[in-house]
Structure 1
């Protein structure tokens, strides 16, 4: 077991971890140490109830992080898994300006006579108009797809078009229902990292193109939402609208951007997502993925690939891809 807090700059963060063969438990990381925490330390029966009281509830854990007792374990001796257990996962599509422009250029029709630069200019105008006049585009993910990076990413054998999408994820604090932009950030408990894995050739229905996208098949295979390993308290992330994201594939940088390229910022996303259904404590709201996906690089995930996704101040996750074993 080789857990590490590399890239984590917060004084403390929440995790879920396993020591040996034991079941995962909630834990508090401070530096290179971790300790189990329960209802007594949380001041709440479980994690989601604790998050419902954020940001004030974080003060309880500040005192725990300063304790000097025998409850601490070396972080390197445990395995970290997904730090949250969301009831809902909301995802944001087409929310990085450069990402969408790249996708338009990469996916242009073969019989489109327009030069690439003209296509890019058209896509840029479309995105700028959407930012001025449009609203965020949301779809639903399955909480069952949320796993830690301690679990290998099994690439389903029904496709060879599995792609990566590194994303900043908001962890919801107090329930948010029909909130406005001005008060939206009051409902953020913290942030974590998610790799929103996508099977590209299943996103659009070939048998009925008029129906549009099929996010269920394209994004919700087992383990397709590697999450964490840290849940970083919102008070420790001063500028969520300007964080650097980087994803490497076998050591080569594929995605390198900042959240300043978001088409709709975090207040707009939280407010928009809360209009028709309450966002519940512990829920995940993914904010979109920047440019640099495999479809643009012409390189999809293969057996043995290793992805490292890092977001400034939130640490990093390492996801290993393995081919699905044949059942034939």
Structure 2
């Protein structure tokens, strides 16, 4: 990260008590995910602190069915988690699959004050806005003022993603043949439990079923292209396994968002460590905006943007084969992903990287 006093960390969120070392769940809570044992079929399961996992397959074929019936399903899951009187699997012995297999994905962008201000200050794309002779600190604070105006007068932004990019919380992440700057973005996610149109932000909490963790990886040199007038193309954020999703979703009643901290390390070195209180637009605002433009469905996944701490701010330390990415978000468990080279079976790209200049 550039050595500037004005980029110092903001205070970390106060942490809840009773975090279970086995799962990352807080005492009294539970998670809902998708799991598999050996070659058996995947099943929806309830995870409790301590690592017991109870199958939901006697009532629900998968987690999509769970979120389709969220009001009844979460009450029943709460009873199961409280009683713990049915056969249990062991969390550490299970294969952890994506929480949902095929959700619509909404990816909020430019949604953390510090992150956006850093990009606007240091990234090449915005240097035309720097005043003659303006130093980094003055430019940074002028950018913060612009961001705050957007928060007051503007609106959220999101792109849409592909569920084929999802993978389990502990799966390998293959680096594709295209893209030189693979980067991480650990994000606080929301799973929708209801639909609705033209929902106000003060009503939108009713749309939220649960919270979940997603690492929104991307090859950040593959966003801009000059061969089309639109100039932006977000498709490269959807490469295979670029969305570790889970390990489980936690019902919203167990999550105090004022205590949520996002933490990610690469090979043991902390890269992201930031509270979600720095969001420009809260999840309710983004969901309200979404209801004006799309039809939300139960099971839709909203990821709410990345805090600061990406590779460009750590000396361009882009991901490479052999790296180990370890992630955690308060209340929502942990991920561990090994970065590997993609095995393309001897194939080579036809079109290759985007054209960034003629």
Q: Is the TM-score greater than 0.5?
A: yes
Of 107-116 and 288-297, the range deviating more from structure 2: 107-116
Aligned to 2:233: 214
Aligned to 1:186: 206
Q: CA–CA distance in 2 between the matches of 1:69 and 1:60? A: 13
Aligned to 1:195: 215
Checking the alignment, whether the CA contact within 8 Å between 2:170 and 2:335 is kept in structure 1 is no
Checking the alignment, whether the CA contact within 8 Å between 1:39 and 1:46 is kept in structure 2 is no
Aligned to 1:250: 267
Q: CA–CA distance in 1 between the matches of 2:318 and 2:71? A: 40
The 3 A distance-change label for structure 1 pair 137 and 70 is closer
Q: Which of 123, 128, 143 is equivalent to 1:123?
A: 143
The 3 A distance-change label for structure 1 pair 68 and 261 is closer
The 3 A distance-change label for structure 1 pair 121 and 69 is closer
Aligned to 2:304: 287
Aligned to 2:332: 314
Q: Which of 81, 105, 121 is equivalent to 1:89?
A: 105
Could you say what secondary structure the match of 2:209 adopts? strand
Q: CA–CA distance in 2 between the matches of 1:17 and 1:131? A: 39
Measure how far apart 1:223 and its partner are: 1.0
Structure 1 residues not aligned, in runs of 5+: none
Checking the alignment, whether the CA contact within 8 Å between 1:84 and 1:231 is kept in structure 2 is no
Structure 2 residues not aligned, in runs of 5+: 1-20, 348-358
User: 1:149-185 CA distances to partner (integer Å, 9 max, x unpaired)?
Assistant: 2321000122221100000010000113321111101
Checking the alignment, whether the CA contact within 8 Å between 2:45 and 2:55 is kept in structure 1 is yes
Checking the alignment, whether the CA contact within 8 Å between 1:53 and 1:174 is kept in structure 2 is no
Checking the alignment, whether the CA contact within 8 Å between 1:178 and 1:278 is kept in structure 2 is no
Q: CA–CA distance in 2 between the matches of 1:75 and 1:317? A: 13
Q: CA–CA distance in 1 between the matches of 2:269 and 2:62? A: 39
The 3 A distance-change label for structure 1 pair 68 and 270 is closer
Q: CA–CA distance in 1 between the matches of 2:296 and 2:105? A: 9
Is 2:191 the partner of 1:171? yes
Q: Which of 5, 10, 15 is equivalent to 2:33?
A: 15
Measure how far apart 1:212 and its partner are: 3.1
Is 2:123 the partner of 1:107? yes
Measure how far apart 1:67 and its partner are: 4.0
Q: CA–CA distance in 2 between the matches of 1:56 and 1:25? A: 18
The 3 A distance-change label for structure 1 pair 266 and 18 is same
Measure how far apart 1:5 and its partner are: 4.0
User: 1:224-256 CA distances to partner (integer Å, 9 max, x unpaired)?
Assistant: 11100011111111x225511111111111111
Measure how far apart 1:39 and its partner are: 4.7
What TM-score, normalized by structure 2, do the two folds share?
0.84
Q: Which of 243, 248, 253 is equivalent to 1:225?
A: 243
Quote the RMSD (CA, aligned, Å).
Answer: 2.0
Q: Which of 27, 30, 48 is equivalent to 1:30?
A: 48
Measure how far apart 1:52 and its partner are: 3.4
Q: How many residues align?
A: 319
